[in-house]
Structures are given as C-alpha cells and as structure tokens.
C-alpha cells in the first residue's frame, strides 16, 4: 500500500581526506502517498544520496525519515517494503528472465503458484512475456531494464525507487520505457520516487518535482509550477528547454511610476515590490516560448545567429544589440537567416524578476497590480 514519505531536516555528510562534505543539507519535505515524484538536479547535487537514504542503503548523519506514520530512519532496507532499480542493470546472468523477476519472491518464500502468477502479470505490464524463458545476455538493453523493473514490480512495494533507470538507453528506447514506467505506476499501489538529471523527463513524467541545488532543496512543486512560478533564477534556468532568457534591467522611478528599464525596453513595476529598490540591478527572465515575432506588449531587438528546427517549431538562438544571449521558440521563424534583425514581442505577464542573489522578487502578473498613483 502506497505510503507518504517524509524527510525531516535530513543531512548526509561524507568524510573524505579528513574533511566533511555535505551531500544533503537540511532536507525537509513530504512526498504524497501514491505520487510519482522526481528528484532532479545537476550532477553531484545529492539526488542518489537522497534516494539511497529513503531506501535505507545510507543512514542520514542527522534527521528523520518516515513512511506514513512509521519512522524508518534506522530500519534496514528489507524492513521498509521498498524496491529500488538502479542505473546499471543488475540481473543474474545464469538465471532466465522469469527466474530473475521472481528471485526476490523466492527469497521471501512466496509459493511457486503465486510467484508464477505475479511474474506473468509483471511481464504482461512490461511487455516482456515473450522473453520470459530467455537469458539476460539474449536481451537488448531496454529489455534488460524492463526485467529489472519487473523484479521491483512483482514485490508489490509500498515505495518504488528508480535511480536513472534509462540513462544508458538510446532516445527511442528511453521514450518507450518512460511510458512503461508510467504504466507501472498506474498499476502499482506505490509511491514512486524517480531520479534523473534530465529535466524533460522530470517535466513529462512527474506529479511533483524536487529540484536540488548543491544538496539543498531549491523547489518542490508540480511541474507546471516550476515552469510558471520558479522561486529562483536557478529553477527558471534549470527547468524548460531552451533555458529561460535572462536580461539585465535597472529599477527606476519615472514620472512618479516605477519601471524596470532594460536595454531597448521598459516595463512597469509595482510599488509593492520595487519602491525600496530604486537604482538596483535586477534580472528579467522570459521563457523562449513566451517570446513572439507576431505579438506582445513590449518589443526587443534580436539578431539571429543560429536557427534550429524542432519538429513543428523553430528555435532562434540570437543576441540582443548589447550582446545578451536570447533564444526564441516559435512555429513561424523558419525563414530567418543568420544576421537577420528581428523585432520580438513579449507580455509583462510572462516575465519573472530576480534580485541580484537570484531569488524571485515577483512574477509578471504581480508587476502591474498596485499602481502607485492612488486617489488621495
């Protein structure tokens, strides 16, 4: 039965050459029961360490981990009803696919008939029924990873932990297995935690995303919220492809109103957020998907450098006249050539504003909510 996973002030320090290295730093969060939650972030940010602590393969240096109402911090992995699939496929080479899938059940003493039934069910879900009597060496990488997933599936775990299970597969197999993993989640009554460094995978598969930054929690939210309401420049840049455009601007007061004045554009700024910041440098973030060659309240000049076709859309990689990198995603820019000067529009509602520490000051829809000209 799926269980909530709760981490309270979890820390993990490793000692290397006499100095302590903090791999996971004061992590507190609650992963909802039955959800598909992805741990994402760049290499070394603490994803695997966090997953291994949830599995019981690492003990936190401090803090508590609970499954439902039960604290499991000091419980062994076997006592947690938790299954884990690793990036490197770990199958027993001398056993058939069927024996590999059923091995965990055999160790637990599950009777043969019951084992056979569960192996068959797992194989059907993962579409490997035809392979059940083969040896692992006769399977492709994708099929081997399905067998590894099957071994986890048959155990009917409360918590299923997946550590980059697709990173060694080619793009097509990855796309197929992504669907299998989601199907698996729908059939299992389990809370799934999935580790990846691939933000596209995280965005497409998850109910919730945990984005880590150097061992610390940066944002924990549904994918759409990370895309539309990033709490920091780090989140805005990590989530979404191409990355969020970042333009510098200065907070100014003009004719009694606050504005953000950038190179070639000026946008309104609310007194609530900016009255105490006049003269400050801020960063205006705009997603490439929210820039348009055909509409927008405000305009930017973009000098095109490279144009890529992505299916039905084009990505123009260019620069502003001041040299800031800027990307535009649009279905209508296929005719653009290198060196073309484009006028690109955007709406204030679609921007993010970050302070000099990279923290979000406000979102576009908050820039115009409190005009400072109020009736006396």
Out of 44, 111, 224, 334, the only residue in the binding site for ligand ATP (CB under 6 A) is 44
**Residue 49 contacts ligand ATP per CB under 6 A:** yes
Reply yes or no: is the peptide bond before residue 210 cis, omega within 30 of 0: no
Segment lying near ligand ATP (by CB under 6 A), choices 42-50, 75-83, 173-181, 259-267: 42-50
**Residue 191 contacts ligand ATP per CB under 6 A:** no
Contact (Cβ atoms closer than 8 angstroms) between residue 35 and residue 5: no
Give the largest CA-CA distance in the chain. Answer: 84
Shortest Cβ 214–ligand ATP spacing (Å): 9
Instruction: Enumerate residues 22-41 that contact ligand ATP by CB under 6 A.
Output: 23, 41
List strand residue ranges (DSSP E) for the chain, in order: 5-16, 19-31, 36-40, 62-67, 70-71, 82-85, 159-163, 191-196, 208-213, 216-221, 245-254, 257-262, 266-268, 281-286, 298-310, 313-319, 325-330, 341-346, 351-354, 360-363
**Residue 199 contacts ligand ATP per CB under 6 A:** no
Q: From CA 313, how far away is CA 94, in angstroms rounded?
A: 48
**Residue 304 contacts ligand ATP per CB under 6 A:** no
Contact (Cβ atoms closer than 8 angstroms) between residue 271 and residue 347: no
What single DSSP character describes residue 229? S
Shortest Cβ 38–ligand ATP spacing (Å): 12
Segment lying near ligand ATP (by CB under 6 A), choices 45-53, 77-85, 276-284, 286-294: 45-53
Shortest Cβ 91–ligand ATP spacing (Å): 21
Out of 2, 5, 47, 318, the only residue in the binding site for ligand ATP (CB under 6 A) is 47
Residue 52 vs 118, nearer CB to ligand ATP: 52
129, burial (CB in 10 Å: exposed 0-12, middle 13-18, buried 19+): middle
**Residue 89 contacts ligand ATP per CB under 6 A:** no
Q: From CA 16, how far away is CA 342, in angstroms rounded?
A: 53
Residue 41 vs 285, nearer CB to ligand ATP: 41
Shortest Cβ 167–ligand ATP spacing (Å): 9
* Chain residues that interact with ligand ATP, rule: CB under 6 A: 14, 16, 21, 23, 41, 43-49, 197
């Amino acid at each position: 039965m799926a269980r909530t996973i709760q981490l309270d002030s979890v820390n993990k320090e490793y000692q290397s050459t006499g100095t302590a290295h903090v791999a996971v730093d004061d992590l507190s969060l609650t992963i909802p029961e039955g959800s598909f939650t992805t741990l994402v972030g760049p290499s070394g940010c603490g994803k695997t360490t966090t997953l291994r602590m949830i599995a019981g393969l690492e003990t936190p240096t401090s803090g508590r981990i609970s499954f439902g109402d039960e604290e499991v911090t000091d419980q062994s992995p076997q006592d947690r009803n938790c299954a884990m699939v690793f990036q490197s496929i770990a199958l027993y080479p001398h056993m058939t696919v069927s024996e590999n899938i059923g091995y965990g059940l055999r160790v637990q003493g599950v009777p043969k008939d019951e084992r056979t039934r569960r192996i068959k069910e797992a194989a059907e879900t993962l579409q490997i029924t035809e392979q059940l009597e083969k040896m692992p060496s006769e399977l492709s990488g994708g099929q081997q990873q399905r067998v590894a997933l099957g071994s986890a599936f048959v155990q009917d775990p409360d918590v299923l932990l997946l550590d980059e299970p697709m990173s060694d597969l080619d793009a097509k197999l990855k796309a197929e297995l992504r669907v299998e993993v989601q199907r698996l989640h729908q059939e299992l009554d389990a809370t799934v935690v999935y580790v990846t460094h691939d933000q596209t995978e995280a965005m497409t598969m998850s109910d919730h995303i945990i984005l880590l930054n150097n061992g610390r929690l940066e944002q924990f939210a549904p994918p759409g919220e990370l895309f539309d309401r990033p709490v920091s420049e780090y989140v805005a840049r990590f989530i979404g492809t191409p990355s969020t455009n970042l333009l510098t601007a200065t907070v100014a007061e003009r004719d009694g109103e606050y504005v953000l004045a950038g190179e070639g554009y000026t946008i309104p700024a609310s007194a609530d957020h900016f009255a105490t910041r006049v003269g400050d440098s801020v960063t205006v973030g705009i997603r490439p998907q929210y820039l348009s060659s055909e509409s927008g309240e405000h305009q930017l000049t973009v000098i095109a450098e490279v144009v890529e076709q992505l299916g039905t859309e084009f990505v123009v990689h260019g620069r502003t006249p001041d040299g800031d990198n800027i990307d535009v995603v649009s279905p209508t820019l296929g005719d653009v050539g290198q060196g073309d000067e484009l006028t690109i529009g955007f709406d204030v509602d679609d921007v993010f504003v970050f302070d000099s520490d990279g923290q979000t000051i406000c979102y576009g829809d908050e820039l115009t909510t409190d005009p400072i000209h109020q009736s006396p």
